[in-house]
Amino acid sequence: MDTEDVLELLREVAQTVVTPRFRALESGQVHEKAPGDLVTVADREAEVAIAERLRAAYPQAVILGEEASALDPGIARAYATAEHAFTIDPVDGTRNFVRGSPDHALMVAELRAGECVRSWIHQPQHRRSCVAERGAGVFEDGRRMVRDAVSEDPHRVRAVSARRGWLGQMLGEIGPLELTWVCCGVDYPHLIAGDADVVLYSGTHPWDHAPGTLMVTEAGGHVGRFDGSPYDPRRSDGGLVVAGDRATYDRVLPLLDLLPGR
């Protein structure tokens, strides 16, 4: 499938499976996989629809879907060593979706030998789509996205996080930490657009971060782990610093010890 084919697949699944359930979920269509971790009928049906099409086009690839991997840990083990793989987040921002917030997205990433080479984010309620190819840039609805330079004034750096226990925390002269849009498929495009300068994540599930990290780096940003090592889309442990540029990443990294319970 070429890049546009995959994007059209996400748009189709959004239109036929996800959006009809938006603000129309019935009793029994929302469940908890774990306390506070929601899944809906839209998540499950959308993932099946996307996975089936990808599997038909790429029968040798490992398909790591958020919902399927929750039921079968063997998928994550196969993904970790796969030469060719896809990640699927069928409804990123499920809690937002359940609450009726438009801040949710469908996301897919393609990996070759553990490196993300293509990624897609589609926000159906915002009617916005972002696509990235390694070495070719990132585009929002056909328009190239480039991250503007971050201000050198430390008081003007906007740092955000979805971890509630970190909100309000000062990182030296940077902060206080504000709340993200609580959806990676919305957070990453906002960072590229300059609506935040750095995002701190305590979790690094591949389906959440593989798509957006490629987009940020293609737009001129920088992504790395809390220990300073490069981001690895095959790992789910440790924290993640997503910055508008390398200088901001380097400024924030030594301040992470100020975060409570990191």
CATH match for 3-144 among 3.30.540.10, 3.90.25.10, 3.40.50.300, 3.40.640.10: 3.30.540.10
Contacts of residues 81-84 at CB distance under 8 Å and 24 or more positions apart, as own/partner, are: 82/111, 83/112, 83/113, 84/58, 84/60, 84/110, 84/111, 84/112
Token couple for 104: 């949710």
> In the predicted model, is pLDDT for residue 156 greater than 80?
no
pLDDT band at 152 (very low <50, low <70, confident <90, very high): low
Residue 155 has a pLDDT of 63
Give residue-wise pLDDT tens across range 56-94. Answer: 999 999 999 999 999 999 999 999 999 999 999 999 999
Place of tokens 């997205």: 105
Fold of 154-258: D-Maltodextrin-Binding Protein; domain 2 (3.40.190)
Give residue-wise pLDDT tens across range 82-92. Answer: 999 999 999 99
Residue 181 has a pLDDT of 97
As a whole-number percent, the residues of the chain with pLDDT over 90 amount to 90
Q: Do domains 3-144 and 154-258 have the same CATH topology?
A: no
> In the predicted model, is pLDDT for residue 237 greater than 70?
yes
Instruction: Show me where the domains of the chain are located.
Output: 3-144, 154-258
- The region that residue 102 occupies, defined by phi over 0 for left and psi between -120 and 50 for alpha, beta otherwise, is alpha
Residue 153 has a pLDDT of 66
Q: Which amino acid is at 125?
A: Q
Give residue-wise pLDDT tens across range 40-52. Answer: 999 999 999 999 9
> In the predicted model, is pLDDT for residue 143 greater than 80?
yes
Residue 88 has a pLDDT of 98
Average pLDDT of the chain?
95
- Average pLDDT for residues 116-132, to the nearest whole number? 98
Residue 151 has a pLDDT of 57
pLDDT band at 117 (very low <50, low <70, confident <90, very high): very high
As a whole-number percent, the residues of the chain with pLDDT over 70 amount to 97
Residue 175 has a pLDDT of 81
Count CB neighbours of 25 within 10 A: 15
Backbone angles phi, psi at 259, to 5 degrees: -75, 130
Instruction: State how far the Cα of 190 lies from the Cα of 181, in Å rounded to an integer.
Output: 9
Give residue-wise pLDDT tens across range 173-232. Answer: 888 999 999 999 999 999 999 999 999 999 999 999 999 999 999 999 999 999 999 999
pLDDT band at 149 (very low <50, low <70, confident <90, very high): low
